[in-house]
Amino acid sequence: MSGYETACRLLNPRLGFAVVLVAALALVGCTSKLLVTSSPSGATVTVTDPGGRLLASGPSPLLAELEFSEKNNKTYTVEVMPTTLQAERYLPGQQTIDTAGYNALEEGADKSRTLSFTLEEKPYVPVPVVEVLLTPKGKWVGVLSKTRSFKDITEAGGAVPTLIVDFGENRGIQGLAISPEGDRLVYSEAVYASPLSALDAESLSLEDQRVYTLKGANLRAINIVGGGVQHITTEDFQDMFPSFSADGERILFSSNRRGDLLGILGIKANGRSGISDIYVNHRNGMVLKPTSAADGTVAFSVVNLDPVRQIVTDQQVWTHYGPNEFPTQITRGESPAISPEGQHIAFINPDDGNLWVIDPDGSNGIQLTSGANAIMKRYRQSLSNTERMLFDANRTADLELIKPFSNPSWSPDGRYILYTSMEGTDPTGRPNEDIWMMRADGTDKQQLTTNGSSDRFPLMSPDGKEIYFLSNRGESWSIWRIPFGIQE
């Protein structure tokens, strides 16, 4: 019996046996049932004829009727598109089917034949993160977002980083600092006024954008050798943005322990006692992200608030102690990081989004990067429709979940600035958060990580041989370490 005859076999219900209607069907063709299933289920299936006419469309499993004739062996096209939610993880699939292909499929009890699609997984998955942000009204919140995480943890060329600690979820990790001895890392982790629901980035949409009120944040420390997480503070004050003093004796951090607005406090680096005031009660302003130099200078940012309208009015870079004995405003800016000897301050300029460097007396301001606006334009263009709606909604609310340049820090010798940059792209061409480095004058830029996942908060070890950073590579938020060698 020919393949055509097999395809056109019909069951006569009255006689109870198969009758092959070859002669008649050779002219008019016959109807054959095709059941299309998909893994994951529910993907959108479309079936078209050779002329492109739509025969059937809908979620899988989908039953379609095809017509084959002996004189015209038609070839149909079956396309399987992942749903909007599935599209974060799966690629679309397509297959053509003719008489021979149809006959090769397994026949079911209802005489239909099943075509099963297993959609290919993308090399990355959406991994959730709660970004801690200051709203335009001066309130700290956590905004649930999602970032691409590539399953492969390696760098370009196959270099494999070393895992230091696996956090799993990132519910608001802020800042990262390394001790002068190179044996401990400290960070801040947010606590929220109401319990967070399960973090599920795949179901995130514009309608269920989740914003959580920040109750506080606690300081944590990690022993690089031997592992283990130490709880430095536990009282759910807003203890944020830790850094080590130059001598390693204290951890400086921003906190609201002395009032509603954050000031700079210090705590003994070897324990949970001995909290002291460094700089508090800045008039109508929050004092954030302190870093210190060997000469005693402390650089920090001030977020000014209008006490009447209760809105953020400005962001500035200040210094205290050292040569500038009294609190002194240096320039407009955010995320300042002072060099180890106190000669320069790296910061992000809020006017253009680029990385700058300036002297502690406010002179010799130099723009080190460019193209921040162009990077964000390319990033927005790379987003799906749903992602773009979320991106635009957050920008309208002045909530910047991602920035083209961020997290500057210094090499121990003060010659290089490390920072997070979106100048590079992931394997799909989307601008991506990677670790970069340049000289203090902006020359010799080098991209240090190339994985395609989000890499943040770069730190160089005190001996200059390793780079630590936070990353979501491997489908989980973790701290990683890579060897470092300057390419002169």
Question: Which of 85-94, 255-264, 399-408 is predicted with the least confidence, judged by mean pLDDT?
Answer: 85-94
* Sequence ranges of the chain with CATH classification 2.120.10.30: 124-483
How much of the chain, in percent, has pLDDT values that exceed 90? 66
Helical (H) or strand (E) element with 76: strand 76-81
- Where residue 20 falls among pLDDT bands split at 50, 70, 90? very low
pLDDT of residue 209: 58
Integer Cα distance of 84 and 203 in angstroms: 10
Is residue 215 within 8 A of residue 236, CB to CB? The reply is yes
pLDDT above 60: residue 208: no
Backbone angles phi, psi at 127, to 5 degrees: -115, 130
- The number of beta carbons lying within 10 Å of the beta carbon of residue 236 is 15
pLDDT of residue 177: 97
**Mean pLDDT value across the chain:** 88
Decide if domain 124-483 falls under CATH 2.120.10.30.
yes
Integer Cα distance of 279 and 264 in angstroms: 5
pLDDT above 90: residue 243: yes
Q: pLDDT tens for residues 342-373?
A: 999 999 999 999 999 999 999 999 999 999 99
- Where residue 200 falls among pLDDT bands split at 50, 70, 90? low
pLDDT above 50: residue 66: yes
pLDDT of residue 198: 58
Q: Where are the beta strands (DSSP E) in 111-210?
A: 113-118, 124-134, 140-150, 162-168, 173-178, 184-192
What's the predicted TM-score (pTM) here?
Answer: 0.82
* Sequence ranges of the chain with CATH classification 2.60.40: 3-118
Integer Cα distance of 124 and 152 in angstroms: 8
Fold annotation for 3-118: Immunoglobulin-like (2.60.40)
Closest CA to 428 of 383, 477, 390: 383
Closest CA to 241 of 339, 174, 143: 174
Give whole-number Cα distances, 404 to 131, 135, 346, 455, in Å.
Answer: 15, 19, 15, 12
How much of the chain, in percent, has pLDDT values that exceed 70? 90
- SS3 state at 437: strand
